[in-house]
Structure 1
């Protein structure tokens, strides 16, 4: 951590000399294809869009990995210029959403609940043990956790979560669909795991946020709005799937009618 902060401070000093250089604080989690800022080769779809914007605008972005809970703290201190990913609906006790400026979504994520295929479609009451990556907040599960209906197990990384699910030490894994699919493609022994549409899932935008660089966010928004074909080609390259594509496929596989699909408006799932 000390080394990371030393790098941040050094880069911050340099950024004063070059106004077009900015430091992006990024989650230090392997969450590919959305992001993997520890990679020296390909940091994911969010990075690819920011790099395309960098080329068009001449702004330079330098990425620093930080624990999820520390990102907002370093943003408040001024040690980083931007946070990615961020979302105005995410709660943190450090920065106020009203004080921040958020970009248009760089991409959307399908946050959902993964189960073994033979356990799909059994509904939320069947989930007694839920795994989730450390640092994430179980928004759609919080009431059940508070009531003791579901117990939460934090995992250090995605392979650990998949292993617990495969071994049936947990009933489900709260994980983004595209991340799960990518991980499963590299770990073929987990290919019997799927997104259960009867369990909590949402489509959530990933944005870039800042406290003090609204002008750059405005430029990024203009870039996104005026380059839909380029943005779409980047998203296609990373094979990002959205719920509109997944619903007909998974509903057919799981034999579900529309009224059997989980809805956050349903009282039992609040």
Structure 2
């Protein structure tokens, strides 16, 4: 073999060896990167009410979702490796986005009996109850114990339906005043401009004490119609995730109880 041929053979061998070494190194680096990095979380959108409903849930001035519901949902998402993006919307717009446009993965809170006219013919999946709380009449202390026949006006937020008063409202015995926020309705009741504000009792007491600085200015009247309200997570698109959430609620009852204690949910409804 000539000197020229021997040099060509050596160069060819060196090139092959370099290629094999580089490929091997790249494979090891890729395997190390794959082993060292977790898969990104699966992301979902959760439509929530753009409403001051603390301690159950609220949207603050920075458009952040907070409260008991956020803690429960985040704990579930963390366990499952999910990431929830909370989308605050006015109540009527929330129903449109979720049930008609179907641009949201989940809605919270929800219940099969809410806005049944919009649910007709839709196959929704609902979780187990996340929290059950008291909804009822907030009245001036001097009006506590007044019979329903003497109630002439009731206030509630646009998009809410005071179910226990439905018959009296339909018969025009009680006039309904609606507003965009519960704190505004509570102010009207404090001024004796409306007889009753129908709302969650825990939320009412929080708003009266912390926002309006009038603790006890209105009180829950158990003699007037009231009801328990069950809050659930719902979906049109991901029933398997809702089932996982129901299992989480069953499995983590201790955690949910601690969160109820943290936010003092249920305390205020006791007469």
Instruction: Give the TM-score normalised by the residue count of structure 1.
Output: 0.79
Equivalence for 1:25 = 47
The residue correspondences of 1:241-260 to structure 2 (distance < 5 A) are 241=266, 246=270, 250=271
Equivalence for 1:15 = none
Equivalence for 2:261 = 236
Quickly say closer, same or farther: Cα 1:137–1:42, change in 2 above 3 A. closer
In structure 2, the gaps of 5 or more residues are 1-39
Q: Is the 8 A contact 2:132 2:230 kept in 1?
A: yes
Secondary structure at 2:203's aligned position in 1?
Answer: helix
CA distance in 1 between partners of 2:249 and 2:97 (Å): 26
Equivalence for 1:166 = 190
Structure 1 residue runs of 4+, over 6 Å off?
none
Q: Is the 8 A contact 2:47 2:86 kept in 1?
A: yes
Kindly indicate whether residue 163 of structure 2 is the aligned counterpart of residue 139 of structure 1.
yes
RMSD: 2.1
Q: Is the 8 A contact 2:54 2:67 kept in 1?
A: yes
The structural deviation recorded for 1:38 is: 3.9
Equivalence for 2:12 = none
Quickly say closer, same or farther: Cα 1:181–1:145, change in 2 above 3 A. same
Q: Is the 8 A contact 1:75 1:82 kept in 2?
A: yes
Secondary structure at 1:230's aligned position in 2?
Answer: helix
Deviations 1:206-234 (A, max 9, x none): 00100110110111111110111111001
Selected match of 1:91 from 115, 119, 126: 115
CA distance in 2 between partners of 1:69 and 1:42 (Å): 18
- Structure number with greater Rg is 2
CA distance in 1 between partners of 2:172 and 2:117 (Å): 25
Kindly indicate whether residue 77 of structure 2 is the aligned counterpart of residue 54 of structure 1.
yes
CA distance in 1 between partners of 2:180 and 2:143 (Å): 24
The residue correspondences of 1:178-257 to structure 2 (distance < 5 A) are 178-186=202-210, 187-189=212-214, 191-241=216-266, 246=270, 250=271
Secondary structure at 2:66's aligned position in 1?
Answer: coil
Quickly say closer, same or farther: Cα 1:73–1:92, change in 2 above 3 A. farther
CA distance in 1 between partners of 2:181 and 2:85 (Å): 24
Q: Is the 8 A contact 2:208 2:217 kept in 1?
A: no
Deviations 1:78-115 (A, max 9, x none): 31000011001212433337610001111112111110
Quickly say closer, same or farther: Cα 1:214–1:242, change in 2 above 3 A. farther
The residue correspondences of 1:102-141 to structure 2 (distance < 5 A) are 102-141=126-165
In structure 1, the gaps of 5 or more residues are 1-17, 251-270
Instruction: Give the TM-score normalised by the residue count of structure 2.
Output: 0.79
